[in-house]
Amino acid sequence: MPEQVRSIKFDGGRYKSSTGLPLTSIDELRRLQTLLSSVARELFLKDHPDRKRVSKKFRESMVLKLVKVEEGSVVPVLERPLEDSLTLDVETNDYFTESFEAIASAMESLGTGGALSDEFPEESIPELLQLGKSFRDDEVLEFERGGSWVRYGKDSRRRLQRLAEVGAIEVEDSLLGQIRGLAAEPKPSFTFEVAGDHRILAGEFDAAVFWDDLLRHLGKDDRAPLVSISAVVAQDSDGTPLSIKELQGIELALPDSWASRLQELARLDAGWFDGLGEPILEPTLLRGEEVLIAALESGLQRPGIFPTPAGGLRFEWEFPDGGALIEASASESVSGDVLFDDGREASAEFDDPSEAIDWVQGWFSND
């Protein structure tokens, strides 16, 4: 008869409002099985120093099957399909239970700022570091332990990374930036400039899948547009990206009509305004893209996008009882202005384009 595995659940983020199981969590369940098998194996070998490996029966006893998904965040119900041929002796069954307990204990310790207990095998730390690779900031895996739940998420992984003195761990993440280089040999690779801090990352990709997309966004005959990539990223213990280990997807960060308008303005030469008018330089274009991304994420409609004679960018929105504009240049700040039909007006400076967008929405949020 199958044996139901003790309770685990996913919570937060994509799991909080979902009635199903996001497909990314299938990979997490696979990593969990690998971790359980690793810990059980190391515990067995520690107790049997004369043994160099575990039996085939032992390995088969660690196989898990997903049989259903219950509500309450996302609760995957796992079973071990114990056929007659896989009937476990007490020893094997105990190591499976001990493996769960050692992992839950490690999660609890990491979650409360402690160190790993001696009962968790050092040899299984790499497998524990792999768990949670796809988690976003507020997503966790929870284990039931002693009538309560212990949590394992991104913060726990970071703590383990520091404790184990591991220079980089892999995280499935999204990055905004520009494609700056592309090479086919000695293996397919690209360079990526991260928006904001202008960090340059080396990246790897499957040429059969992504070569055409990367080439199109390289900007060989035009400026490289801002793109959003999904990727497996190597990060240090502070979460700083170090390199791109696997490209999973790439798309323009802005809708086509927004991005093409910026590309059009990027081609303006000096003197475009009746002999006057400065060209719009790359730092200003990047700042303008930050404004537009903030507007897009906040739900604002596409603004009017115009150049200014001083080489800046001007974004204009119309509302039922007034209008707003934001100007961006190569400087650190952006300026915002609102003007109502009844004569009221206001102006402000912002370091963060998102704050400028929030400010505009604050004035017209009741419209």
Q: What is the pLDDT of residue 221?
A: 65
**The two structure tokens encoding residue 251:** 């798309």
Gap between the Cα atoms of 353 and 90, Å rounded: 62
Same domain for 152 and 25: yes
Domain at 202, CATH number: 2.40.50
Task: Report the Cα–Cα distance between both ends of the chain, in Å, rounded.
Answer: 62
Q: What is the DSSP letter of 315?
A: E
> b/e per residue, 160-170, with b = 16+ CB within 10 A?
bbeeeeeebbb
C-alpha 152/C-alpha 138 separation (Å) is 10
Helix (H, G, I), strand (E, B) or coil at 213: helix
Encoded amino acid at 233, one letter: V
Give how many domains the chain has, as a whole number: 3
Single residue among 203, 224, 252 that ends a domain in this structure: 252
Q: Cα torsion for 67, 70, 75, 81, to the nearest 10°?
A: -20
Domain stop point among 122, 137, 166? 166
Regarding whether 154 and 209 lie in a shared domain, the answer is no
**Would you state the pLDDT for residue 255?**
94
38 and 74 housed in the same domain: yes
Q: Are residues 131 and 242 located together in one domain of the fold?
A: no
Q: Indicate if 22 and 106 belong to the same structural domain.
A: yes
Statement to judge: residues 29 and 162 lie in one domain: yes
Burial of 308 (C-beta count, 10 Å sphere; 0-12/13-18/19+): middle
Q: What is the pLDDT along the chain (367 residues), one digit of tens a residue?
A: 455 555 788 888 888 765 677 777 889 989 999 999 999 999 989 988 898 888 888 887 777 777 667 665 567 766 655 554 333 333 445 788 888 889 999 999 998 888 888 889 999 999 999 999 999 888 999 888 878 888 999 999 999 999 999 999 999 999 999 999 999 999 999 999 998 888 999 999 999 999 999 999 997 667 888 999 999 999 999 999 999 999 999 999 999 999 999 999 999 999 999 889 999 998 899 899 999 999 999 999 999 999 999 999 999 999 999 999 999 987 778 999 999 999 999 999 999 999 999 999 998 875 4
Clarify whether residues 209 and 262 are in a common domain. Answer: no
Tokens for 80, please give them: 């071990």
Neighbours of 194 (CB within 10 A): 15
Please check whether residues 181 and 213 belong to one and the same domain.
yes
Q: According to the model, what pLDDT value does residue 86 have? A: 35
Indicate whether 275 and 184 sit together in one domain.
Answer: no
User: What's the domain range around 110?
Assistant: 3-166
Q: Are 217 and 236 in contact (CB under 8 A)?
A: no
Rounded Cα–Cα distance for residues 120 and 98 (Å) = 10
State the DSSP code for 53: S
Are residue 9 and residue 151 in the same domain, yes or no?
A: yes
Instruction: Report how far residue 363's alpha carbon sits from residue 361's, in angstroms, rounded to the nearest whole number.
Output: 5
Whether residues 138 and 238 share a domain: the answer is no
- Residue ending a domain, among 207, 229, 252, is 252
| 342 and 225 part of one domain | no
